Amino acid sequence: MMEETLRAYKERLEKALSDLPMEGAPDILKESMRYSLLSGGKRLRGCLLLSACEMAGGNIQDALPFACALEMIHAYSLIHDDLPAMDDDTMRRGKPTNHVVYGEAVAILAGDALLTHAFEIMAQSAHPSAFQALGEIARAAGISGMIAGQTLDVTMEGSKPEKELVEKIHLGKTAALLTAPITAGLMLAGASEAQIAAGREFGMHLGVAFQIVDDILDLEGDPALMGKTLGKDQAEGKLTWPACVGLNQAKADAKQHIDSAVSALVPFGKKAEFLQALAISTLHRVQ
């Protein structure tokens, strides 16, 4: 049931992403943007936004440009994260990374273009809550959200893994872009302040759990399923949750965060079942 709903959201999103207008872009830029944007991926952020909007009685069609925007921002962050100056990765989603195929200059520009284009797409929405949702997504992607987390991640590499610092990194680099789809989706559905606060609580716990599981998968995952090189975190002195608390405690903590995420959505009753099941499924993910 959860898988079927997820498949339907994903299909809707894939079509919208594939149909995105990119007029005026030079062919090589368009090709590089589409290479990363349409290269698979779980589409978690886009699906979270569509389902949060539906959970609060909103219209999926109104939410679609914002779901696409989140996937564009996510794709940009992965392109830049894979660059030699950052994580220096050659494989992503089972394919060569963007800069390996198009060169560093075009990859940087494709990332910049995806980020900018995401805001152009959202700005075209005439929905009464469009500006509020756009602001929410900008904050999550920006200087106190994803960029803050990534800055700490890159600059604190090799330092002592302290729980408080690692949680701050996880809240920024990962949880911010998993919370914004929920809160923005709820805003587009005209949800109340209390509902948005509950959604924020859900997103933050889901996001932190998602990154803990990502850290665990770097240690014990299957590179073929993950579609990228694993085992780099330890070698590079990355500040991961298992490095702070050990592997077994990290697994327990991920479960605890998912339990808290599930509880946060109780006020939505049965309508929250999809998002609750999706959150639980991330604990057992293999990719």
Q: How far is the CB of 210 from ligand GRG (least distance, A)?
A: 6
CB 114 within 8 A of CB 33: yes
Q: How far is the CB of 126 from ligand GRG (least distance, A)?
A: 29
Q: Does 78 bind ligand GRG (CB under 6 A)?
A: yes
Query: What is the separation of C-alpha 150 from the centre of its chain, rounded to a whole number of angstroms?
Result: 13
Contacting residue, 6, 32, 67, 80, with ligand GRG by CB under 6 A: 80
Q: Does 255 bind ligand GRG (CB under 6 A)?
A: no
**Which of 18-26, 41-49, 95-103, 195-203 is the region at the interface with ligand GRG (rule: CB under 6 A)?**
41-49
H or E stretch covering 170: helix 163-170
CB 49 within 8 A of CB 70: yes
Q: Does 129 bind ligand GRG (CB under 6 A)?
A: no
What token pair was written down for 40?
């698979």
Contacting residue, 13, 33, 37, 44, with ligand GRG by CB under 6 A: 44
Cβ neighbours of residue 162 closer than 8 Å, sequence gap 6 or more: 244
Q: Does 77 bind ligand GRG (CB under 6 A)?
A: yes
CA dist., res. 47 & res. 67, Å (int): 7
CB 262 within 8 A of CB 199: no
What token pair was written down for 245?
């608390």
CA dist., res. 269 & res. 104, Å (int): 48
C-beta closer to ligand GRG: residue 62 or 149 = 149
Contacting residue, 146, 188, 208, 244, with ligand GRG by CB under 6 A: 146
Residues near ligand GRG (CB under 6 A): 41-42, 44, 74, 77-78, 80-81, 93, 146-147, 150, 173-174, 211, 214
